[in-house]
């Protein structure tokens, strides 16, 4: 099948490449011509395990190509995906300007029937908006074409996106048009041996499913962090509590690990967007408002731990920070808990020596580029050398079993603030460390 993919960001690039991997002819479109040139040369601008390899392979096979000229491909494809960004507006709503811009461009160039698939994460009702935008552009040109707009939200986890796409838990198709539904089913059939995983529903339900899924996962995280804060105050151990409740099959162990808050491109934006949607429809989503509030507070809990040890003035102190990405397996720092943590340390007069396996350039060139007194090291042990304490923010695998003897010798003070509860408190304290966890007194 010939497919157009508008947008070569995280979702568009993974989706387009995985479709190409199954033998489809995929044309990815982006307005950034330098990015297009890099991608055609096999250079991937983001870190996602396994992605660069299959991008290069499919470019070489000519099943995947990149262009900035929509007019060259839009009338030669059967399906066109919209996978552009929907950044958060100041009021928490999703900014649909890129989605609407893509729809306008489709409508202004199209001369044949087409199935348009909305892959971007969008508010309820956007499918109708995209359809109306395309039809308006067609009317300007005096054309009547059969354009079907389908909602097909993505459920990719950063750090496991290629695997998730190749072996999906479910594929949601939002449409009432049987021809469009069958076409999208055919497109996804190589990825699902069990067709029960393809869920067909109306467009608005499909759009809300994406937001509801992320809001539920964010709720589990904030709930567990709230339990951790209670646990610490009453003298319990949240690590034991987690095992106790996770063993209940109705709850399970996924997303009940306490920590320093969630981040990334999805959970924060989607929770705020669904809150805004609810308010726009005269409903106050009290649980979701609390989820967001708990998460924002949780991002500062490490500062409260540091303050209890060092006081509020951090002048002449250096803190090693392990982990800058919002989660392991990615270089994405959007809404990462490391950002407010580092900014607050510097604000209080301290310095930071930071290390992350993949996100150093993102920090240095974008998210922390204007923050003084931050240095970036090329190894975890370089970062802790002569630091007054270590703060663990992101649970990368290489942090799981470090050389504690070397750490103790390198740090000025054997103090660890663990924002992800990676280590055994008894083991570290017996080794002479002062070890501070989430949800443990």
How would DSSP label each residue in 80-140? EEE----PBPTTS-B--HHHHHHHHHHHHH--S-EEEEE-S---TTHHHHHHHHHHHHHHH
Q: Which residues does 83 contact at the CB level (< 8 Å), separation at least 6?
A: 5, 6, 7, 9, 11, 12, 15, 16, 119, 120, 154
Burial state string for 292-314 with b = 16 or more CB within 10 A and e = fewer than 16: bebbeebbebbbebbeeebeeeb
Q: Which two tokens stand for residue 275?
A: 């809150």
Q: Which of 28, 80, 260, 266 is catalytic?
A: 266
Q: Which two tokens stand for residue 149?
A: 């707009």
80 tagged catalytic:
no
Q: Which two tokens stand for residue 390?
A: 């270590």
In sequence order, what are the beta bridge partners of 200?
173
Q: Is 192 exposed, middle or buried (0-12, 13-18, 19+ CB in 10 A)?
A: middle
Task: Catalogue the active-site residues.
Answer: 266
């Amino acid at each position: 099948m010939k497919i157009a993919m508008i947008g070569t960001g995280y979702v568009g690039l993974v989706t387009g490449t995985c479709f190409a991997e199954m033998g489809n002819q995929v044309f990815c479109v982006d307005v950034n011509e330098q990015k297009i040139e890099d991608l055609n040369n096999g250079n991937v601008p983001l870190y996602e395990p396994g992605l660069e390899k299959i991008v290069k392979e499919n470019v070489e096979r000519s099943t995947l190509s990149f262009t900035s000229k929509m007019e060259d491909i839009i009338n030669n494809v059967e399906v066109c995906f919209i996978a552009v960004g929907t950044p958060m507006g100041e009021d928490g709503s999703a900014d649909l300007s890129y989605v609407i811009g893509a729809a306008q461009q489709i409508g202004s160039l199209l001369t044949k029937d087409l199935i348009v698939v909305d892959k971007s994460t969008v508010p309820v009702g956007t499918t109708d908006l995209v359809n109306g935008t395309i039809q308006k552009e067609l009317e300007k040109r005096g054309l009547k074409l059969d354009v079907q707009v389908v909602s097909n939200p993505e459920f990719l986890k950063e750090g496991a996106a290629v695997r998730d796409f190749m072996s999906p838990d479910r594929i949601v198709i939002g449409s009432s048009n049987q021809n469009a539904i069958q076409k999208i089913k055919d497109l996804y059939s190589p990825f699902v041996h069990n067709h029960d995983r393809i869920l067909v529903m109306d467009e608005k339900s499909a759009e809300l499913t994406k937001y509801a899924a992320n809001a539920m996962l964010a709720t589990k995280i904030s709930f567990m962090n709230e339990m951790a804060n209670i646990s610490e105050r009453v003298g319990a151990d949240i690590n034991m509590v987690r095992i106790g409740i996770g063993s209940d099959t109705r709850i399970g162990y996924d997303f009940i690990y306490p920590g320093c808050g969630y981040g990334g491109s999805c959970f924060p934006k989607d929770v705020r967007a669904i809150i805004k949607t609810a308010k726009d429809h005269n409903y106050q989503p009290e649980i979701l408002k609390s989820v967001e509030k708990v998460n924002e507070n949780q991002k500062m809990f490490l500062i409260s731990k540091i303050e209890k040890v060092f006081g509020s003035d951090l002048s002449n102190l250096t803190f090693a920070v392990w982990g800058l990405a919002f989660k392991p397996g990615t270089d994405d720092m959007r809404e990462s808990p490391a950002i407010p943590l580092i900014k607050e340390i510097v604000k209080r007069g301290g310095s930071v020596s930071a290390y992350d396996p993949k996100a150093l350039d993102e920090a240095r060139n974008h998210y922390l580029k204007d923050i003084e007194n931050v240095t970036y090291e090329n190894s975890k042990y370089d970062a802790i050398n002569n630091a007054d304490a270590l703060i663990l923010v992101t649970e990368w695998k290489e942090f799981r079993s470090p050389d504690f003897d070397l750490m103790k010798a390198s740090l000025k003070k054997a103090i660890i603030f663990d924002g992800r509860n990676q280590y055994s408190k008894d083991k570290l304290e017996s080794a002479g460390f002062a070890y501070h966890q989430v949800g443990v007194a």
